[in-house]
Amino acid sequence: MRVLPLLTVRDVEASSRFYQQLLDCRSGHGGKEYERLVRNGDVLLQLHRWEAHEHPGMGDPDAAPHGYGVALFVETDAFDAAVARARAVHAKILDGPKVNPNAKHRELWIHDPDGYTVVVCSPRGDVG
């Protein structure tokens, strides 16, 4: 089993460029309505335009903050490079980079262009 997160966004192509740079991945589908971002043949993230199709549970893009109460954690062995990429795409930095003493790893909390919370972190136990 694996989890395949899907974010509903206003501009799939802009979000795709943001995540391709942030996650160091590539487009596996492309388009204005749907995108699948991949690395080494594995799907990392899916993007879907709000108005593209009627799917239950997608909701109204203006009804509530996007991803309220949910954070997308992205673990990477190349934390410093990921922080540099987050800065390069002008991600809104919410917190960090900092050490999480409970997980004993480094974290950077950001918002993506749609306001979703993304946490870039190093592997657990990375910091003593």
Buried b / exposed e across 67-98, counting CB within 10 Å, b at 16+? beeeeeebebeebeebbebbeeeebeeeebbe
Residue 79 belongs to a domain with what CATH number? Answer: 3.10.180.10
pLDDT digits (tens, 9 = 90+) for 50-100: 877 776 666 677 777 777 788 999 999 999 999 999 999 999 999 999 999
128 lies in some domain: no
Quick one: what percent of the chain has pLDDT higher than 90? Answer: 76
71 lies in some domain: yes
Q: Distance (Å, rounded) from C-alpha 47 to C-alpha 37?
A: 8
What average pLDDT does the structure give for the chain? Answer: 91
Radius of gyration of the chain, Cα coordinates, nearest whole angstrom: 15
pLDDT digits (tens, 9 = 90+) for 17-27: 999 999 999 99
Q: Distance (Å, rounded) from C-alpha 14 to C-alpha 128?
A: 38
- Position 65 scores a pLDDT of 74
CB of 94 within 8 A of CB of 88? Answer: no
Q: Distance (Å, rounded) from C-alpha 124 to C-alpha 105?
A: 5
126 lies in some domain: no
CA distances from 112 to 27, 72, 92 (A): 17, 10, 7
pTM of the model: 0.88
- Position 84 scores a pLDDT of 97
60 lies in some domain: no
The domain containing residue 73 runs over which residues?
A: 6-52+66-121
78 lies in some domain: yes
Query: What are the tokens at 72?
Result: 């997308």
77 lies in some domain: yes
**Residue at 22: amino acid letter:** L
127 lies in some domain: no
- Position 59 scores a pLDDT of 66
- Position 57 scores a pLDDT of 65
Q: Grade residue 11 by pLDDT with cuts at 50, 70 and 90.
A: very high
Domain count, the chain: 1
